Structure 1
């Protein structure tokens, strides 16, 4: 996943993204990316005391948002290792796999925690990335892996959803996302939901086949 994320960042932002700038000299702020996605994640729940108080949580959207945050957590971690001279992707991958917190997600899981417990964990993550202090990367990863478990995911399902979203992100970039011409809602459904359904309905689908299926559906559902 770290390798795929690095390749996606190279393609999207240029190979110097670890220095905090895109190929167009626009500043990259991975911490901000994380807390903004976390805010979207909280909206998977009817947390507002004045609106839709009986609405059920959107568990599918929660899982997609967890994967979105994972994109940015990995990017921040790769950038941090580069800037602090701790090593590259291989060293980062080894160190993450040796964390005690990582072992929590290496157990099959499909149970959701309570809404309150999940939101509190999301807010813990937000506090860490909003802090102006030196990044506590291992603590951030520990909180994120807790969130993975709370969200009914494990290492295998996180990986599958990550690969699916990685392919979707590549597809978006290839079809005008950065230029603002990409259509995100296909016949009334967000592309995230469609991608997730394709993965769930086709357990053995390859990344290339997923990209091709997205291409076929995109043009049939948005260009008619």
Structure 2
């Protein structure tokens, strides 16, 4: 019974956020089965992330490089590769917001498994804080990644590479900044609240920009 309750607590934030971003797809809703498939891919991505992190952390001694390369770097790199493969092969990606939605689904799939693993040894003690910090942060890093990846899909070849670089490096640096704040001392951790507020503002602006550029948006 306790395990079931922990599982519900681990899954609920990811499903709630995925539902929110799914409902923001106002003009041409994606098939739910495709969104859930991308969410499942995100869950599976925990395996390569774990293997790569275990390999790399043996080579990295600096705690700051560990945050930059092992934690943020590998997580965002794996999610980025999965997103690009998904966007390239899926016939459902036909507007900019789709890049955001599928990036969020992949990232929340990863965050849900990570959340479950983190809650197992601590029970309910971490459930509330993880529901408002780590899980939403993963989704918001993905919004930025998906925005630029979506733009890249519908852009000319000569700007595609720049947009893909923006897609990966923006999410990577935001993730690294989040981890650095979280690992700091109490005074440094006070920056988490303004950071998360700024992250939400940035993410929602990218969502609105993507919605405004939808080819399915009714013309005034």
TM tier, shorter chain? Answer: 0.3 to 0.5
The alignment's TM-score, normalised by the length of structure 1, stands at 0.39
The alignment's TM-score, normalised by the length of structure 2, stands at 0.40
Q: Write 1 or 2 for the structure with the bigger share of helix.
A: 2
